[in-house]
Structure 1
Amino acid sequence: MTHSEEALDEHLSTPSEAVALSLASTSGPVVVLGAGGKVGPTLCRMLRRALPADRQVFAVSRWSDTEARASLESHGVTCISADLAAPDAWAGLPDAGAVYYLVGHKFGSNTNPHLTWWMNAVVPGFAAARYRGVPTVVYSSGNVYPFTQAHAGGCTEQHPVGPVGTYAQSCLAREQAFTHAAATWSTPVAIYRLNYAVELRYGVLADLAAKIVAGEAIDVTMGAVNVVWQRDSTDWSLRLIEHARSPEPFILNGTGPETASTRHLASRLGAALRRDLTFVGQEAPEALLSNAARCHGLFGYPQTTLDQAVSLVAEWVGAGGRQLGKATKFQTRDGRF
């Protein structure tokens, strides 16, 4: 898995047998909206590998990353260039039998809040209207929850939301756009509250490892965090389509089973990288945490454990493996991204 990016992407896009069974609850083409981000390319490849050849997979994005587009097309995914922020872009998109919605905007929310609100609150309305009645899985974020005591196990899906800051509030607005579609047009909807997916090139573990290698101090004020290996998370999100429902969406937290100590994760990575660590701050009693027991009850525990993920990331970063340069900023506590 760790020898090359090609091998990594092959691994991250390998579906379990259960993915095909879940997708069989739908028919026709599958449209992935916002397919050009961190999760989209391997999600599209996993879809293509799980579906029969006569079901098309359409990946919609602006496709500023031409290499990602070319790679997807070489694996049988049909890529469509579209600026989904534009209202007139939607009429020309293909019809679908299932939709995965990955459009989102996070970084720069503090300096350009209007763009964040447009992308996360207005654009979902375009999607919900264009694909009314079509089973839809909506990627959301655990940021919609308030901070809770680190020892309490994290927020379940029944916990009252309490988004902090522009980004988190706009994520809740995205959910509400699709909730409206479920209530008004009987669109079957499932909302996937993910935090945080990790792989070798980005995520909480890669962020920590990169700081350690650079000799930077590790801030432990956000003293605990949830993570899940991206292949497991993607697999779960694809299987979630069979649970989409109306008039109320099915909501699912997606993350690993551990409430992981930031200090402990950094210490494990530092030991594997053979680097000394410097910590700053003191663990706050509360953190942004989710409880994914419902997810694990439906789909099982992650196939890649947290210990395995830590070892793999340390090996990759220690060998100078490429990073995507997309920090999670998981240590942010004021909602200003």
Structure 2
Amino acid sequence: MALEGSKIVVTGVTGQVAEPVARMLARDNEVYGAARFTDDEARERLEAAGVTCVRIDLAAGDVADLPADADYVVNFAVAKSGAWGADLDANAGGVLWLMDHHRSARAFLHCSSTAVYQPDGHRTFRESDPLGDNHRVWSFLETYSICKIAAEGAARWGSARYRLPTTIARLSVPYGDNGGWPAIHLEMMIAGVPIQVHPDGPSVYHPIHEQDVVDSLPALFAAAATPATTVNWGGSDPVSIREWCAHLGELTGLDPEFETTDETVTGVALDLTRMHELIGTTGVHWKDGMRRMVEKFHPELLKG
């Protein structure tokens, strides 16, 4: 299944993950990027890459300017203001406004998060495992996990109600030329700021490069079904925070400092059996991806 010559809507298009996805998709497709567009520079970058920008407001259901005849919809939009009513309206309600408007699409991909899993030590999480409030420990993401769970419920209902083939993909740690958590850690290392790690280590995740996010899309669309398909989505290699920071140190000569505290999130190791069955293994090894990230943001630090 090749994504060429298709009409694709990408929401949350000014975000860290969605912007490079939209720009790459626009090389071979008619792409509509949807957001509130409070960042004029982001809009200019997207338009220069051939993305048609459309202002929307998911909380208000203002999606009428998006093409209702889109072939595919990729929902990366997320609201995390900390206000429960507003975030529920934008995240859960926003999914339903989009699905209602695009009920004739060939497939709908909703980007969820591995933050939906109930913390449980060093469990390797499968898609059927219990859900819970993973991110409440971070006050700036107080609504995040619950709203992601609510949005999954909305996507499941919308898929059944509109008979809209849907995939719910629970994304791990995305990173690349547009930033991400490892890029934040790199900046902290440069500034000499300690990086928080949970005492119940190692804190393992599955960092996935933005190129692999794009390369996964055709198979994730092909897996869309009614009832909705749910799948973990991350890089094939499990990597801890300490491991990727140590590698960033090897690439730059910087020494990462760590602060052990229970006021940070625990790791979320994933069972990727279903993902590998649906889309295969990811192509960018995490060490290569981290090197590319350093080269993008701080080439002056790159050794060798």
Both structures adopt the same fold (TM-score exceeding 0.5) = yes
Query: Per the alignment, do residues 49 and 176 of structure 1 end up closer, same or farther by CA in structure 2, a change over 3 Å counting?
Result: same
Contact preservation (8 Å) 1:146, 1:288: no
Deviation at 1:305, TM superposition (A): 0.5
Deviation at 1:121, TM superposition (A): 1.8
Query: Per the alignment, do residues 188 and 234 of structure 1 end up closer, same or farther by CA in structure 2, a change over 3 Å counting?
Result: same
Q: Which moved more, 1:133-142 or 1:114-123?
A: 114-123
Query: Per the alignment, do residues 34 and 205 of structure 1 end up closer, same or farther by CA in structure 2, a change over 3 Å counting?
Result: closer
**Local SS of the residue matching 1:160:** coil
Structure 1 Cα separation of the partners of residues 59 and 207 of structure 2: 30
Name the residue aligned to 1:142.
114
Say whether 1:159 aligns with 2:132. Answer: no
Match for residue 114 of structure 1 among 80, 85, 103? 85
Match for residue 229 of structure 2 among 227, 250, 255? 250
Structure 2 Cα separation of the partners of residues 44 and 200 of structure 1: 14
**Local SS of the residue matching 1:79:** strand
Counting only pairs closer than 5 Å after superposition, residues 305-316 of structure 1 correspond to structure 2 as 305-316=285-296
Say whether 1:234 aligns with 2:214. Answer: yes
Q: Which moved more, 1:137-146 or 1:193-202?
A: 193-202
Superposed CA offset, 1:1-58 (max 9, x none): xxxxxxxxxxxxxxxxxxxx2447xx8632222222112222222222233xxxx322
Q: Which moved more, 1:173-182 or 1:290-299?
A: 290-299
Structure 1 Cα separation of the partners of residues 6 and 152 of structure 2: 25
Name the residue aligned to 1:214.
191
Deviation at 1:64, TM superposition (A): 2.3
Name the residue aligned to 2:40.
66
Say whether 1:260 aligns with 2:239. Answer: yes
Match for residue 7 of structure 2 among 26, 29, 33? 29
Name the residue aligned to 1:269.
248
RMSD: 2.6
**Local SS of the residue matching 2:269:** coil
Deviation at 1:317, TM superposition (A): 4.4
Percent of counterpart pairs with the same letter? Answer: 26
Match for residue 169 of structure 2 among 192, 198, 201? 192
Contact preservation (8 Å) 1:188, 1:249: yes
Query: Per the alignment, do residues 245 and 217 of structure 1 end up closer, same or farther by CA in structure 2, a change over 3 Å counting?
Result: same
Q: What TM-score does the superposition give when structure 2 sets the normalisation length? A: 0.84
Structure 2 Cα separation of the partners of residues 44 and 279 of structure 1: 35
Match for residue 67 of structure 2 among 94, 99, 105? 94
Query: Per the alignment, do residues 264 and 174 of structure 1 end up closer, same or farther by CA in structure 2, a change over 3 Å counting?
Result: same
Query: Per the alignment, do residues 98 and 279 of structure 1 end up closer, same or farther by CA in structure 2, a change over 3 Å counting?
Result: closer
**Local SS of the residue matching 2:112:** strand
**Local SS of the residue matching 2:147:** helix
Q: How many residues align?
A: 288
Structure 2 Cα separation of the partners of residues 318 and 264 of structure 1: 19
Query: Per the alignment, do residues 282 and 50 of structure 1 end up closer, same or farther by CA in structure 2, a change over 3 Å counting?
Result: same
Say whether 1:129 aligns with 2:106. Answer: no
Query: Per the alignment, do residues 309 and 28 of structure 1 end up closer, same or farther by CA in structure 2, a change over 3 Å counting?
Result: closer
Whichever structure has more strand as a proportion of its residues is 2
- The residue identity in structure 1 corresponding to 2:113 is S
- Structure 1: give runs of 5+ residues left out of the alignment: 1-20, 322-337
Q: Which moved more, 1:173-182 or 1:120-129?
A: 120-129
Q: What TM-score does the superposition give when structure 1 sets the normalisation length? A: 0.77
Name the residue aligned to 2:274.
294
Structure 1 Cα separation of the partners of residues 103 and 222 of structure 2: 17
Deviation at 1:182, TM superposition (A): 1.5
Superposed CA offset, 1:285-310 (max 9, x none): 96223222322333232221011123
Superposed CA offset, 1:94-134 (max 9, x none): 2122211121123x42xx23322222122222112222242
Superposed CA offset, 1:117-157 (max 9, x none): 2221222221122222422111111111122333x4x2122
- The residue identity in structure 1 corresponding to 2:67 is P
